[in-house]
């Protein structure tokens, strides 16, 4: 089956062909006819299988058939459309800023030959340009729930004319606590709408949410839930936490790696790892929630262009990084949730390529490792730690260990020997040292009087 046979309008097919895509992915082949037909869809497919195209292409197809053609060739019709003013006709909700930007890029790519306008709405940046784009008139809005609700409350967004709404990475939005915001947004949508819900996993909460949002949906499942790509070579190193930086340095320096993505559990851990790699003359950048949007955009752009070969990320980016030719994914810290492992390593081996996924497992992470292997129904290949990395460790970690050791020793001195140096009352009520507890057992000499000190000085 080709895109021509799926009923897409010619401008969209022409844009898809220009990108080098000839045949749809399995999720696209199953979803496109149903979505074009106007039915609700509950789609489940692993990350990197083309879910964005599965809803972006039919939405563009629907809008292209109902948007008036511009009066001049090549000129986009701006301003009010169909009497709706600045109001959008399609809404896509997603969990992260990075994912919102990439979804908008997909709409722009597939709809480059259509007289349509798009914008993204997310927090962490000034709302000025977002409001300006809305006032100019848009057809498609890609938004994170929090900022969208904020702009709705300010009167900048009206969802009355929404024809299609998409919840992308719905399970991730539930994990991030967006469920209440989503329900508030849905209440403002017209009842006569088409709803599409796409998720990489299908837990019970997603099923419950779909029952309240979708009308007689078609369930589409391409791959087993939380399955991993066979083209990814997966392995694990059993390594202590303080040895992880040295092991990562060693593997990066000795391995033949292209673009490399490293996942940490915490934001501070990502920043510490960047400093550790920098000390080893390895260029890298971190991307996480504490970074400003401009800093995150710069780091991601530098990673895409190859200026920075290694990107350190927290799980906020595990479903928002769509970069070609990622050869290696490192799980520096194993994720708290086993399903997240699948989304992390899904950043490599995309579009038919192969990839390598390497995990570091400390003794405290053994339970998570067993959960991951049970989920993917596969045992990770156990690798031996290189000798050099066994004898090395992160300088910062060693410094903290020495500081902690010195602190413990000092505390022992205070609570040990120092405690035995008791003071007793002298014959006239003065306190004097008993001398007990001193290393040589000698008593402390009484201070000399002023006259004695002067005589001693004169003799000397």
Q: Are 296 and 232 in contact (CB under 8 A)?
A: no
Cβ of 267: how many Cβ atoms within 10 Å?
A: 16
Q: Are 50 and 27 in contact (CB under 8 A)?
A: yes
Question: What integer pLDDT is reported at residue 69 of this predicted model?
Answer: 61
Question: What integer pLDDT is reported at residue 14 of this predicted model?
Answer: 95
b/e per residue, 22-51, with b = 16+ CB within 10 A? eebbebbbbbbbbbbeebbbbbbbbbbbbb
CA–CA distance, 41 with 230 (Å, rounded to integer) = 27
Task: Give residue-wise pLDDT tens across range 15-47.
Answer: 999 988 888 988 999 999 999 999 999 998 776
Q: Compare 360 and 458 and report the one with higher pLDDT.
A: 360
C-alpha 328 chain-centroid distance? 16
Percent of the chain whose pLDDT exceeds 90: 50
**Residue 448 pLDDT exceeds 80:** no
Task: Give residue-wise pLDDT tens across range 44-102.
Answer: 877 667 889 999 999 999 999 987 665 544 444 444 344 345 589 999 999 988 889 98
Q: Both tokens of residue 119?
A: 């914008």
Question: What integer pLDDT is reported at residue 112 of this predicted model?
Answer: 95
Report field, pTM of the whole predicted structure over 0.75: no
Question: What integer pLDDT is reported at residue 386 of this predicted model?
Answer: 59
Question: What integer pLDDT is reported at residue 325 of this predicted model?
Answer: 86
CA–CA distance, 373 with 355 (Å, rounded to integer) = 18
Average pLDDT score, the chain: 81
Question: What integer pLDDT is reported at residue 228 of this predicted model?
Answer: 64
Closest by alpha carbon to 329, among 269, 238, 248? 248
How many DSSP H helices and E strands does the chain contain?
A: 18, 16
Task: Give residue-wise pLDDT tens across range 112-124.
Answer: 999 999 999 999 8
Residues 6+ apart with CB under 8 A from 419: 437
Phi, psi dihedrals of residue 46, rounded to the nearest 5°: -65, 160
Question: What integer pLDDT is reported at residue 257 of this predicted model?
Answer: 87
CA atoms within 13 A on the CB side of 425: 3
Task: Give residue-wise pLDDT tens across range 346-395.
Answer: 888 776 678 999 999 999 999 999 999 998 889 999 987 655 555 554 55
CA–CA distance, 303 with 305 (Å, rounded to integer) = 6
Closest by alpha carbon to 382, among 403, 359, 402, 350? 359
Q: How confident is the model at residue 144 (pLDDT cuts 50, 70, 90)?
A: very high
Question: What integer pLDDT is reported at residue 5 of this predicted model?
Answer: 87
Q: Both tokens of residue 347?
A: 């950043």
Task: Give residue-wise pLDDT tens across range 261-318.
Answer: 999 999 999 999 999 999 999 999 999 878 887 888 889 889 989 999 999 998 865 5
């Amino acid at each position: 089956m080709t895109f021509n046979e799926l009923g897409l309008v010619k401008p969209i097919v022409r844009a898809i062909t220009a990108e080098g895509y000839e045949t749809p992915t399995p999720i696209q082949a199953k979803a496109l006819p149903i979505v074009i037909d106007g039915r609700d869809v509950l789609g489940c497919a692993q990350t990197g299988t083309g879910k964005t195209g599965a809803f972006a292409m039919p939405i563009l197809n629907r809008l292209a058939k109902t948007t008036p053609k511009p009066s001049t060739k090549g000129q986009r019709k701006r301003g009010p459309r169909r009497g709706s003013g600045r109001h959008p006709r399609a809404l896509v909700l997603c969990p992260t800023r990075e994912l919102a930007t990439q979804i908008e890029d997909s709409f722009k790519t597939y709809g480059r030959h259509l007289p349509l306008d798009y914008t993204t709405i997310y927090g962490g940046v000034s709302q000025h340009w977002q409001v300006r784009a809305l006032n100019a008139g848009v057809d498609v809005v890609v938004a994170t729930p929090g900022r969208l609700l904020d702009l709705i409350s300010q009167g900048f967004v009206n969802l009355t004319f929404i024809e299609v709404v998409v919840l992308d990475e719905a399970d991730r939005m539930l994990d991030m606590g967006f469920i209440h915001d989503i329900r508030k947004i849905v209440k403002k949508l017209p009842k006569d709408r088409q709803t599409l819900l796409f998720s990489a996993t299908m837990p019970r909460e997603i099923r419950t949410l779909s029952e309240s949002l979708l009308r007689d949906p078609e369930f589409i499942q391409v791959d087993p839930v939380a399955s991993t790509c066979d083209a990814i070579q997966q392995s694990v190193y059993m390594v202590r936490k303080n040895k992880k930086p040295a092991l990562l340095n060693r593997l990066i320096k000795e391995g033949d790696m292209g673009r490399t993505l490293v996942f940490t559990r915490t934001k501070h851990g990502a920043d510490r790892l960047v400093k550790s790699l920098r000390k080893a003359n390895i260029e890298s950048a971190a991307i996480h929630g504490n970074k400003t949007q401009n800093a995150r955009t710069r780091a991601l752009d530098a990673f895409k262009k190859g200026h920075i070969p290694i990107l350190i990320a927290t799980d906020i980016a595990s479903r928002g990084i769509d970069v070609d030719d990622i050869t290696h994914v490192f799980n520096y810290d194993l994720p708290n949730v086993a399903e997240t492992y699948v989304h992390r390593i899904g950043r490599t081996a995309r579009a038919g390529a192969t990839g390598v996924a390497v995990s570091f497992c400390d003794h405290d992470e053994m339970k998570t490792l067993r959960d991951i292997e049970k989920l993917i129904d596969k045992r990770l290949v156990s690798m031996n730690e290189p000798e050099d990395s066994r004898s090395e460790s992160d300088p910062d970690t060693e410094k903290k260990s020495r500081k902690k050791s010195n602190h413990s020793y000092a505390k022992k001195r205070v609570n040990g020997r120092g405690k035995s140096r008791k003071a007793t009352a002298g014959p006239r009520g003065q306190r004097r040292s008993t001398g007990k507890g001193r290393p040589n057992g000698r008593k402390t000499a009484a201070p000399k009087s002023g006259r004695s000190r002067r005589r001693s000085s004169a003799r000397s």
